[in-house]
Amino acid sequence: MSVSTAAISTVDHFYTFALEAIRQGNYDYAIRKLRFGIQRYPQYIKLHSLLSQAYFDTGELDLAQSHANTAFKLDRAKEFTPILDEDF
């Protein structure tokens, strides 16, 4: 499935705003933004990965595990790199 430049820009919007919210400690906003992004772009690994981290940080371990598993499944190359390596 090919993704247009406009779609990439939009999906990156969800990721970028959520990442900034997490950096500011606003997990509620980040989680809402990521969940909405995943509704629109369910195959985007970075959204699932960041949502997993947000859930983990807030103690929602079952949800964190679920989204981490989804990110791993979506990563066809099996070379999943945790989001935290570059972004935090």
81/71 Cα distance (integer angstroms): 10
| Backbone φ and ψ of 24, nearest 5° | -90, 0
* CB neighbours of residue 82 within 10 Å: 13
Which CATH superfamily does the domain covering 5-87 fall into?
Tetratricopeptide repeat domain (1.25.40.10)
pLDDT value, residue 88: 46
Q: Determine the residue type at 87.
A: D
| pLDDT tens per residue, range 4-62 | 555 556 888 999 999 999 999 999 999 999 999 999 999 999 999 999 999 999 999 99
